[in-house]
Amino acid sequence: MGLLDHIWLGIVTVFTVDPVFSIAGLPISMTIIMVFLGLIFGIFVGATPGIGGPVAMAISLPILISIFGFKADALLPVLGFLVGIMKGSTVGGAVPAILFNTPGTPDSLMTTLDGYPLTKKGQPGKALRVAHFSSVSGDTISDIVLITGAPFLAIIVERFLDFPEKAALIILSLAFVSAVVGSNVWKGLLAALLGLFMAYIGTGEDGHPRLSMGSDNLANGFPLISAVLGVLILGEVFKSLEDMWREMRETSTITKVEVKGDNKLHLSDIRKILPFIGISASIGTMIGALPGIGSTLAATLGYATGRKIHKGSPAFGEGAIEGIAATEAANSAVAGANLIPVLSLGIPGNISAVFILLATESIGGFVPGPQVFRLVPDQINQEMVYAFGLFTAMIFANGLNWTFGGVFMRWMGVMIKIPKQRLLPIVLLLTLTAIYVQQTNMFAVYVTLGFGFLGYFMRKLNFSVLAFVIAYILANNLEESMRQAFAVTGADPWFLFASPTSIIFVVISILVVIFFARNQKDLN
């Protein structure tokens, strides 16, 4: 079976399998419905202060698995919903930034710079339309790169990498993530090493679970989902709660917006912002494809580049639609490209990718990695069908985002009124419940809380939680590939240096750490 057969099967699977109802004779499949619901939910949470896309994905994942089960046919509806959230939340994130000068996420910090001045001028509608147009454009461009790039990268990896090189590649990714994320290479490395070490507790191959101190609860290590959600979500919840506790006396006033003047997005506007979108989308895509550097840096770089090339008035910072476009296109372009390392190598580079990987780990039938894009003569590679199904779902989500996204987005202005200190405790209970339902024991709940406090302290002391989480997820892959490389080479202790490819990977890992250790000031 050729590539085209798989693409076609992927599309067919998304649109026709498991139809729920039909509109005018057209069957509407479960996956399509889930993408749609995910997108709306994503826009909704993006516009809600306190919970962004990652929190929404974290809470939804266990609930979705409870609904759809663990079998492979659950894959596309669940991934569709997560992809919907991912895309919706980037669009929704601009809403509070533009309307209330409060960025919902760090990504949209730069959006406030020109978005809010426009709102004050009475043109919130125009600002939102520009943000929507740029965001969806950036996202679409990034997806195109993903869809065309990931399979080729995977094929190269599959053909040239054996067990030793795969181990070296994981080391390189970890070195890169810990060096690049956060402000201090050594803190990043320590966070990653700590993640690796904790993942080794209770795991391993011996009959006695190593380092478990005799506890049966640790016989299979800390549950992955507890560690990941604890550090990523609960840590953030605890820290935000404390911030609010400290600031409780300061009352925030909500500005009344008076709508006047030109609020439409004209063709001439689009012509003006298109170059900015193109440049920012390229920046965002490139940054997204590298593991570890997130959308915040992309937004900052996109905005800075835009400001350099912008001429005329209004200037950036005074309500230039080009400023909004440069920011939103850049931060939205990260999402799609971020999935390149996950789908082609099985290595997650950022939080959204972590949840996509968690979903595939929980549901059988699809293991992200180079084998996904393997063509087998006369046979259907079901994993490749799912990959193209996922791509189809992404394109469909973009289509929805183009057509309905803007409308939903403009309705979301009311979300700012939800008090965050009421919302976050609910998020906490929901997260703990979701974990309990999946793991079915209280130990997992306690572990989640424990990791939550760990995540809280890491945030407070400026240790990278992302480096920790990615290291935690890759730890056992790393050990396994080391063991296998060692065994397969007939116990060669220098297996990491047995081929030029793995030597190159190891050398680059070391160089990355040295480079960023010396130049960390420049990056920040």
Partner 1 sequence: MFALTNTTTRLAVAGLAAAAFMTTFTAQAEWKPKGPISVVIGFAAGGGTDTQARLISAELKKRKGWNMIPSNLSGRGGVVMARKLKSMPNDGLSIGMAVTEVFGYNMLASKKSGYKTSDFTYIATTTSSQMGIVANTSKGWKTFKDVIAAAKKGKVFKFAGMSAKHADINFLIEQKYGVKFNTVVLRGGRKVMNAIIAGDVDLGYGAGIQAKAVMSGKMVNLASGLGERLRISPNAPTLVEMGIPYDIGAKFIFVAPAGIPADARKALADAIGEVINDPSTKASKFVSKRYGGPDVVTGKKLDAYIANEIKAAKVLMKLMK
Partner 2 sequence: MTTGPFSPKMQKAPWTVGLAIFFSLASLLTLFVWIPLDIETGVIETFRRRVTIGDAMAPTIMAVAILVVSVVMGILTVFEPAENSSDVKEDLDKQSFVFLARLVIVVSIGLVLMVYLGPMVVDLINTLGGEIGSYRNLRATYPYKLIGYVFGGFVLIFGIISVVENRFSMNGALVSIIAVVVITMLYELPFDNLLLPPNGAN
Give me the count of residues in the chain: 524
Which residues, other chains included, contact 404 with Cβ-Cβ below 8 Å and sequence gap of 6+? 39
In the list 24, 440, 494, 500, the residue contacting partner 1 (rule: CB under 8 A) is: 440
Q: What distances in angstroms separate CA 520 from CA 191, 249, 316, 512, one per listed residue?
A: 17, 37, 28, 11
184 is a site residue for partner 1 (CB under 8 A): no
Residues 6+ apart with CB under 8 A from 92: 42, 43, 44, 45, 46, 47, 48, 104, 409, 412
∠412-415-417 over CA atoms, to 5°?
140
Contact between 106 and partner 2 per CB under 8 A = no
Q: Identify residues 159-178 at the interface with partner 1 (CB under 8 A).
A: 162-163
> Is 425 one of the binding residues for partner 1 (CB under 8 A)?
no
Smallest gap from Cβ 496 to partner 2, in A, equals: 12
CB of 199 to partner 2, least distance (A): 9
Paired residues of 22 in beta bridges: 27
At its nearest, how many Å lie between partner 2 and the CB of residue 427? 10
How many helices (H) and strands (E) are present in the chain, helices listed first? 21, 2
Contact predicate 191/178, CB 8 Å: yes
Q: CA dihedral defined by 475, 359, 49, 104, rounded to 10 degrees?
A: 70
Identify which of residues 216 and 247 has a Cβ nearer to partner 1 in the complex.
216
Least Å distance, CB 207 to partner 1, is 2
Contacts of 300 (CB under 8 A, 6+ apart): 110
User: Restricting to residues 240-279, which ones interact with partner 2 according to CB under 8 A?
Assistant: 241-242, 244-246, 248
Q: Where are the alpha helices (DSSP H) in 363-489?
A: 382-400, 406-411, 420-439, 442-460, 465-488
Determine, following the binding rule CB under 8 A, whether residue 213 of this chain makes contact with partner 2: yes
Give the footprint of partner 1 on residues 365-394 (CB under 8 A): 365, 367, 369-371, 374, 376-379
Tell me if residue 26 falls in helix, strand or coil.
strand
DSSP SS3 for 208:
coil
Contact of residue 433 among partner 2, partner 1, none (CB under 5-8 Å per partner type) = partner 2
Binding residue count for partner 2, defined by CB under 8 A: 67
The closest of 441, 369, 468, 455 to 220, measured between CA atoms, is 441
Contact 123, 263 (CB under 8 A): yes
Interacting residue with partner 1 among 84, 209, 291, 294 (CB under 8 A):
209
518 is an interface residue for partner 2 by CB under 8 A: no
Q: Give yes or no for residue 499 binding partner 1 (CB under 8 A).
A: no
Give the integer Cα–Cα distance in Å for 71 and 16: 18
Residue 522 in contact with partner 1, rule: CB under 8 A = no
Q: Which pair of structure tokens corresponds to residue 446?
A: 């306690």
Q: How many CA atoms lie within 13 A of 463 on its CB side?
A: 21
CA distance 276 to 330: 9
Binds partner 2 (CB under 8 A): choice among 63, 72, 498, 503: 63
CA-to-CA distance for 235 and 58, rounded, in angstroms?
A: 13
**Of 51-59, 199-207, 225-233, 337-345, which part binds partner 1 (CB under 8 A)?**
199-207
Nearer to partner 1, 276 or 373 (CB): 373
* Residues linked to residue 29 through DSSP beta bridges, in sequence order: 19
Residues of 457-477 as b/e, b for ≥16 C-beta within 10 angstroms?
ebbeeebbbbbbbbbbbbbbb
Q: Among 7-15, 70-78, 234-242, 516-524, which window interacts with partner 1 (CB under 8 A)?
A: 70-78
Nearest one of 304, 318, 309, 294 to 467, comparing CA atoms = 294
Contact positions with partner 2 (CB under 8 A) in 109-138: none
Shortest distance, position 121 Cβ to partner 1, whole Å: 54
For partner 1, the binding residue among 2, 25, 207, 493 (CB under 8 A) is 207
Stretch that binds partner 2, among 17-25, 179-187, 264-272, 330-338 (CB under 8 A): 179-187
Contact positions with partner 2 (CB under 8 A) in 428-467: 428-430, 432-433, 436-437, 439-442, 445-446, 449, 453, 456-457, 460-462
Measured from the CB atom, the residue of 415 and 432 that comes closer to partner 2 is 432
Enumerate binding residues for partner 1 (CB under 8 A).
69-72, 158, 162-163, 205-209, 216, 219-221, 362-365, 367, 369-371, 374, 376-379, 440, 480, 483-484, 487-490
Enumerate binding residues for partner 2 (CB under 8 A).
63, 66-67, 183-184, 186-187, 189-190, 193-194, 196-197, 200-201, 204-208, 210-213, 238, 241-242, 244-246, 248, 421-422, 424-426, 428-430, 432-433, 436-437, 439-442, 445-446, 449, 453, 456-457, 460-462, 475, 478-479, 482-483, 486-487, 491, 520-521, 524
